[in-house]
Amino acid sequence: MKLRTFKGGIHPPDNKQWTAHKAIEDCPLPEELVVPLSQHIGAPAVACVEVGQHVAKGQEVGSAKGFVSVPVHASTSGEVVAIENRPHPVGTSLPAVVIKPDGEDSWSSNLQFTDPGSLTSDEVIEKVRQAGVVGMGGAAFPAHVKMSPPPEKPIRTLLFNGVECEPYLTSDHRMMLEESERVLQGVSLLQYVYGAERVVIGIEANKPDAIALLKKQCADAPVEILPLEVKYPQGAEKQLIAAVTGREVPSGGLPMDVGVAVHNVSTAAAVTDAVMLGRPLIERVCTVTGPAIKEPKNLRVRIGMPLSHLVEICGGLIGEPGKIILGGPMMGFTQVGFDVPVVRGTSGLLLLHEEDVTKNPEGPCIRCARCVQACPMNLLPTTIAAYARRNLVAETEEYCAMDCIECGSCSYVCPASIPLVQSIRHGKAAVLAKKRKALL
Amino acid sequence: MSPQLYLSSSPHVHSGETTPKVMRAVLYSLVPACCVAVYFFGMSALSVLLIATLGCLATEVVCQRLMGHPVTIADGSAAITGVLLALNLPPTSPWWLTLLGAVIAIAIGKQVYGGLGANPFNPALVARVVLLISFPVQMTTWSAPAPLGSGLDLVTTATPLGEWKNAVMLTGEMPAAMQGSMVGYFLGNMPGCIGEVSALALLLGAAYLLYRRILTWHIPATYVGTVILLSGAFWLINPARYPNPVFHLVTGGLVLGAFYMATDMVTTPVSTRGMLLFGVGCGLLTVLIRLFGGYPEGVSFAILLMNAATPLIDRYTKPRTFGTLRQGGGV
């Protein structure tokens, strides 16, 4: 049977064998937790505790500021020892609440079990917001905003992303296997909120155990488990929607424009905790992997744990790392060191040796069109990149640079090793700058 | 932190495909055709191959030295130009003509534009056409194949397409009997350019390139398909005058052109629709030149003309961006 998929894309080696079979392990608490106030798309939270104050696990330490914002919470109980700028995965120092754990790890007494049947959909959304739930696939967009589409954009299809197409990462895979009940509870809660006609969990066919398990558990539920072709970027929102529904999110639009909402499977599990237990998003599963780590693992980590702690728990490094990547190898971000903390969007920590880092010298474009065939957005990456590099902003925009999802497929296939997606990012920034200028 | 920690924009992995690897694969794919050529035309074909290839490499080195650019002959592109040029020359091509072709191909066909990736025209074809126009006698002196060990000498004769054109010019009709058979043409037993002779050997190499995904079907299929359809239409209208499509396929430079010359990545469109259009254009021009032009063979001219149209084709065949209704964006 031919599996559903999208047009374009690439087949990088998935390298999931390091951790795919490994059960999630709880990561012990470190000496210090650094909880950044900005871990999501939107306005950063504002600190609402003071230095020296004792906080309980799950207590709010930063309040949301505005609608597109979420609160942040203490990941364990302990003392607030500092509120200051600390290194952040985005590459700069940003405000963070630093907590010294007291070792009790005791939950805040304010958190209660709720029977979801007694809640209205607005109450569910409010609980999700209070719990600081954001998209856990990496983009970290506040879930409550997604859950509140305007009435003129009804959601007909509710889609759950269990694709995990990034090589190396297995955190969503393990979540579906080990926490399937939490995931499916979240699925039905979100279904209740959206009132969607169709509910689908899309999973790449390279996770047959997860597909079989969820199919069995959803035998009587109105939830479709849909295996998808193994191809990167199958898990990109627009490509997933195209594969499942056959519809394309319009250029510049949102999934709700085609009546779809997409949530990550791990986000669904976080929704369950938020709604049923009142527990905020203070932990997640993070795949620590790569050739430069002694024991690759799927760790259940608290938000704010420094990467150095994760490395230590995984047996330390093998040799010197050549590249420290937060996220997967296709879209992850390189880090300057191990002192940045885990945040809500940290799906993986990938450690490469210097010899694993591709350093091919860049050559001239031979117009081989591999990038054109690979582009899942049907763009002309080489053309856009060439314009962007010459700072031809109007042409960059004309060739639809703003539609680029920055999946990196073009750079991956380029035989001339041209940093295509990097150039396109620069081009997009230039287009945005021009637009902002035009508005002034 | 260790001094060799790399920071970069994503992606952090690469397919491992490089330009030199692509070029080397193209060179490997030409080995069968070169072997067949040497088999049928002997040492003269071998010397043309060697002179053209070494000439191209040397010209590239000289040009890049003169311009103060890094020397990049290791990328294999100049060697490909050399081999393709040799395949587009008659086996009797004198050494000076071959060498002149090599210099033209690299200096005028490629380096003046800025080297690899910047040339609008297929460098080997630029050289072939310059030579064809400048030295018509040497460039159209064909010899019948003399397979190795047959003891035959190379004897001057006409190509099948030339044979047909002469007859049509004189009598307005097909020649009563051609010198060779279709099967013989297909295997390479016919007079012609070094690389035109064996469609079979060329197709073997092309199959390898298709398997390696260096070649896509778009241009060769549309090119050959258009030739079949258009030449077939003429043949059905007047079989006494026009040769059948199979004749068009197995003679002349069609297979070499469609699979190797018209698929030069640098000088052809990048979008799928652009490639399809390019192939159709090449097919139309080839048949028109063959049937109604002054030259018996039209493949080189057809491809060069379509090379010239490539920027325009690229401009008008922007793919339909995902999430838009019209090509080139806009909902």
pLDDT digits (tens, 9 = 90+) for B206-257: 999 999 989 999 999 999 999 999 999 999 999 888 889 988 888 888 999 9
In chain A, which residue's Cα lies nearest the Cα of B265?
A: A368
pLDDT band at B177 (very low <50, low <70, confident <90, very high): low
Is A268 within 8 Å of A281 (Cβ atoms)?
Answer: no
Angle at B60 between CA B56 and CA B62, to 5 degrees: 115
Predicted local confidence at residue B157, as pLDDT: 72
CB nearest to B265's CB, from A249, A363, A369: A369
Average pLDDT, chain A: 94
User: What is residue B245's DSSP assignment?
Assistant: H
Interchain contact, B18 vs A333, CB within 8 Å: no
B3 touches chain A (CB under 8 A): no
Q: Tell me the residues of chain B between 251 and 280 that have a Cβ less than 8 Å away from chain A.
A: 265-268, 270-272, 275
Interchain contact, B1 vs A357, CB within 8 Å: no
Minimal CA–CA distance to A217: which of A191, A269, A182, A251? A182
A43 residue type, one letter = A
Report, as an integer, the average pLDDT of A244-253: 94
Question: Is the bond preceding residue A233 a cis peptide, omega within 30 degrees?
Answer: yes
> Distance (Å) from the C-alpha of residue B180 to the closest C-alpha of chain A?
38
Share of chain A above pLDDT 70, in %: 100
Interface test with B, best of A334, A402, A404, A423 (most B CBs within 10 A): A334
User: A with B: how many residue pairs have Cβ under 8 Å apart?
Assistant: 170
Checking if the pLDDT of B2 tops 50, the result is no
Helices (H), A195-299: 208-217, 237-245, 265-272
Q: Where are any strands of DSSP class E within A37-170?
A: 46-47, 54-55, 60-63, 72-73, 78-87, 93-101, 157-162
A213 touches chain B (CB under 8 A): no
Checking if the pLDDT of A140 tops 90, the result is no
CA separation for the pair B326, B318 (Å, rounded): 10
CA separation for the pair B321, B329 (Å, rounded): 6
Average pLDDT, chain B: 89
Interchain contact, B271 vs A377, CB within 8 Å: no
In chain A, which residue's Cα lies nearest the Cα of B316?
A: A399
Interface test with A, best of B2, B270, B320 (most A CBs within 10 A): B270
CA distances in angstroms from B129 to A59, B96, B102, listed in the order given: 79, 16, 12
Give B196-208 pLDDT, tens digit per residue. Answer: 877 889 999 999 9
CB nearest to B5's CB, from A322, A367, A408: A322
Share of chain B above pLDDT 70, in %: 93
Strands A93-101 and A157-162 turn out to be: unpaired
Report, as an integer, the average pLDDT of B97-121: 96
Interchain contact, A323 vs B268, CB within 8 Å: no
CA distances in angstroms from A248 to A226, A237, B106, B138, listed in the order given: 18, 10, 46, 59
Predicted local confidence at residue A248, as pLDDT: 95
What is chain A's alpha carbon radius of gyration, rounded to the nearest angstrom?
21
Tokens of A297: 């693992």
Tokens of A397: 């925009």
Interchain contact, B321 vs A253, CB within 8 Å: no
In chain A, which residue's Cα lies nearest the Cα of B317?
A: A380
Checking if the pLDDT of A364 tops 60, the result is yes
Backbone angles phi, psi at B155, to 5 degrees: -115, 135
Give A7-53 pLDDT, tens digit per residue. Answer: 999 999 999 999 999 999 999 999 999 999 988 888 889 999 999 99
Transcribe A158-195 into DSSP letters: EEEEE---STT--HHHHHHHHSHHHHHHHHHHHHHHHT
Interface test with B, best of A335, A412, A424 (most B CBs within 10 A): A412
Interchain contact, B9 vs A251, CB within 8 Å: no
Checking if the pLDDT of A346 tops 90, the result is yes
pLDDT band at A116 (very low <50, low <70, confident <90, very high): confident
